[in-house]
Structures are given as C-alpha cells and as structure tokens.
Amino acid sequence: MKKLKQFILGVQFLTRIPIRANMPAEPSDFKGALCFFTVVGLIIGTLEWLLFSLGMQVDPLLGALLATIGGIWITGGMHLDGLADVFDGFGANRDTERTLEIMKDSRIGSFGVLALMIDFAFHMVGFYLLKDTPLLIIWVPISAKFTVCVLCDIGKNIKKGLGALWIENISKAGLFVNLVLFLFIGCILLPWELAVIGLGLVYGVAVLLNKKFTHKLTGLNGDCLGAASQMTEWIVMVYLLIVSQML
C-alpha cells in the first residue's frame, strides 16, 4: 500500500493525469516516489505515442503536433517553466545571486521564450522524423526522468522548494530501479548495444549539466531539474533519429 501511495504521488507530481487520491504524504514518501519516476516517464511516453499514432492516420505532421501538445498537456508544462527560468537566468550572464533572482522572477524573458521555441521545434521535428519508428517516442520521456533521478543522486540542493523534495533524496536502490527500467525498455525498443550507449549518453548529460549548474549556482534547484529533463529529451531525440537509420 505504501508503494502504491508513492507511485500515485509521483504521477500526481509529474503529470496532470486526474488521480483523485488525497493521501497524507511524509518526507519518506517523496523519496519513495523517486523510484517511480521512469515509470511515470513510461506513462507519458506511451500517451505521446498513442497521440502520434492517432494523428498519423491523417498525416505524420498532425501526429507530431498532437504528440507535442499532448505531452505539454499531460505534464502541465511543468518542466517548461524550469527550462525558461534557467535560460533567462543563465542568458543574463550575471553572478550567482543575480542569476537566482532572475530565475525566481515569474516573468519570462527573451531567452526563456527562445528556449520554449527550441523545445517546441525539437519535439515537432523529432516526432515527425520518427514516423517510421514511432515506438521510439516512448523512450524519450523515460530518458528525461532518468536524468532527473541521476541529478537527484549526484547533485547538491541549494534552496528550499519543490526541488528540495527530490535533490539528494534518492536512495541507491531507487536509482537502480530507475536504471533497470530505463535499460529494460531501451532493450525492447533498440538493440541492447544501442540501449547501453543511450544509457551512457543520458548519464553523461546529467553529469555535464550538474557540473554546469553547480559551477554557476553552487548546486541545483527545481528549475535545474526541469531544464535538465527537457534538454535530455532534445539530445535523446537526436540520438534516436540517428540510430533509427540503423534499424
């Protein structure tokens, strides 16, 4: 029952899927919910694939549009907010304190708008070009959520907030569970060698982003996790477009 509560907590936090369950949550439940982040990624990816397949009945471009908009709706654009904040903060090229102030500003700046445009373009073009191997779409959000898990393991929390519920709060067992699911789905969709390379790619992205964020901000916050999730999707999308030519 406790694991079910933690799973539901993960779904409620990362998506807008209407699960009406008002259950009291303790700090340990948020730590346990991290075990299910790639499972939630699997749910998101499956829904995006279904929307793409539905639109494909008319035209691949419509499928790409439905999957892109559907992905935003399913997640409530949660990570897009972090992406825009990080681009605004880092784009201003200021010191640590001022960068964090800019990231906390509820208004969006030109760099944030640019980031959202890039994100939309990556998803539209990526989904469209994966029209011959659409099942690979499922691995994209799984990869993004695995990156978040890695960052929660290797990163350092710098402030109170939503990010503090997760950063430095994942157990080694929780990270291993996410790793196994990430590789398991990857090996179903791809030859195992390509799935392992994908693992190395995603882990490398997490390490590099952690280094960049820590250098600029002295650690991570929730915006960093959101931005990392979206940027991982861009990179994994490109990787899948390359390997899809080998399948």
How far apart CA 116 and CA 135 sit, in angstroms, is: 25
Q: What is the pLDDT of residue 161?
A: 67
Q: How confident is the model at residue 81 (pLDDT cuts 50, 70, 90)?
A: very high
pLDDT in tens, 205-242: 999 999 999 999 999 999 999 999 999 999 999 999 99
HEC letters along 11-53: HHHHCCCCCCCCCCCCHHHHHHHHHHHHHHHHHHHHHHHHHHH
Q: What is the pLDDT of residue 145?
A: 97
pLDDT in tens, 8-51: 888 988 998 888 767 677 777 788 889 999 999 999 999 999 99
Q: What number is the average pLDDT over the span 69-79?
A: 94
pLDDT in tens, 157-194: 987 666 777 888 899 999 999 999 999 999 999 999 99
Q: What is the pLDDT of residue 200?
A: 98
Q: What is the pLDDT of residue 2?
A: 79
Q: Are 125 and 117 in contact (CB under 8 A)?
A: no
Q: Are 215 and 175 in contact (CB under 8 A)?
A: no
In a domain, 23, yes or no: no
Among the residue ranges 82-86, 141-145, 166-170, 219-223, the one predicted with the least confidence is 166-170
Mean of all residue pLDDT scores within the chain: 93
Please report, rounded to a whole number, the percentage of residues in the chain having pLDDT higher than 90: 80
State which residues form the domain around 97: 2-17+29-244
In a domain, 60, yes or no: yes
In a domain, 91, yes or no: yes
In a domain, 175, yes or no: yes
In a domain, 24, yes or no: no
Q: What is the pLDDT of residue 21?
A: 67
Beta carbons within 8 Å of 181's beta carbon, 6+ residues apart: 38, 39, 42, 142
pLDDT in tens, 48-71: 999 999 999 999 999 999 999 999
Place of tokens 């569970």: 177
HEC letters along the chain: CHHHHHHHHHHHHHCCCCCCCCCCCCHHHHHHHHHHHHHHHHHHHHHHHHHHHHHHCCCHHHHHHHHHHHHHHHHCCHHHHHHHHHHHHHHCCCCHHHHHHHHHCCCCCHHHHHHHHHHHHHHHHHHHHCCCCHHHHHHHHHHHHHHHHHHHHHCCECCCCHHHHCCCCCCHHHHHHHHHHHHHHHHHHCCHHHHHHHHHHHHHHHHHHHHHHHHHHCCECHHHHHHHHHHHHHHHHHHHHHHHCCC
In a domain, 124, yes or no: yes
Q: What is the pLDDT of residue 165?
A: 77
In a domain, 208, yes or no: yes
How far apart CA 190 and CA 239 sit, in angstroms, is: 12
Q: What is the pLDDT of residue 162?
A: 67
Q: What number is the average pLDDT over the span 88-112?
A: 94
Question: What crossing angle do the helices spanning 78-91 and 110-129 adopt, rounded to 10°?
Answer: 130
Q: How many domains are contained in the chain? A: 1
